[in-house]
Structure 1
């Protein structure tokens, strides 16, 4: 028995399969909700992708589009699209590499630094509130379990 009827509905699942199915749904709902809430926290002026790009440029310094593309496992055209929005906001600028003038690097501007720091504080406050109901021990257990899944 394959556990499915002809309409694709689950007809029979073992207890472990039911648990993993519920876990998958809970993960999906949790991360979808958190993404939506974080976008609301960051405000109308930016979105999560832009925040993450700024974070990388803030912490790592100037980067090539290809480095960001590899880091986030997205296409160079996606990086370019997000970068275009950040350039319009004057948070990022494109500049020629000092090492190789053929290469264009992305660099965060001073205005981008300030915007990032403000957004980072909002994000930190969001996570403080989100995880406040959990004890330190529960957070350690959750972290350990997630790391185990990622291993």
Structure 2
């Protein structure tokens, strides 16, 4: 086996171990209060509010029915609301509520603290290198 292939195999194994740990930890941070999909959708709405279900499904590259389900769950929690468009009454838009913004900000603080602690043992130079590598992989 070539050295490069050995490195790829070790990288794959390590990457998935780290990814699983991050996923588990983020789920713990969210505390069954909100799902990862709900958190991501709230962030999307906080950046571009309002959006239609179709726009959201295109942004996330998932089905309209999946977004509808996520929006239903967020609406039950009072984190988003649906309203008819002022320009076209046939169109329903999804808005993040003040409670949704507050929830997102609280979760963001927890995630930021987690990542600061997780990456605390890396130097600034190592963090910059890691970021550069991730950007290159995008």
Compute the TM-score of the two structures, normalised by the length of structure 1. 0.85
1:115 to 82, 103, 108: 103
After TM superposition, give the deviation of residue 100 of structure 1 in Å. 2.0
Task: Let me know the Cα RMSD of the aligned residues.
Answer: 1.2
CA deviation string 1:80-121 (max 9, x = no partner):
111111011011111112222211111011111111111111
Q: Is 1:78 aligned to residue 66 of structure 2? A: yes
Q: 1:132 is paired with a residue of what secondary structure?
A: coil
- The 5 A counterparts of 1:4-23 are 13-23=1-11
- Partner of residue 55, structure 2: 67
Q: Is 1:138 aligned to residue 90 of structure 2? A: no
Q: How many matched pairs?
A: 138
Unmatched segments (≥5 aa) in structure 2: none
Alpha-carbon distance between aligned partners in 2 of 1:114 and 1:147, rounded to the nearest angstrom: 29
Unmatched segments (≥5 aa) in structure 1: 1-12
- 4+ residue runs over 3 A deviation: none
Who wins on radius of gyration, i.e. which is larger? 1
1:34 to 19, 22, 30: 22
Structure having the higher helix fraction is: 2
After TM superposition, give the deviation of residue 70 of structure 1 in Å. 1.5
After TM superposition, give the deviation of residue 59 of structure 1 in Å. 2.0
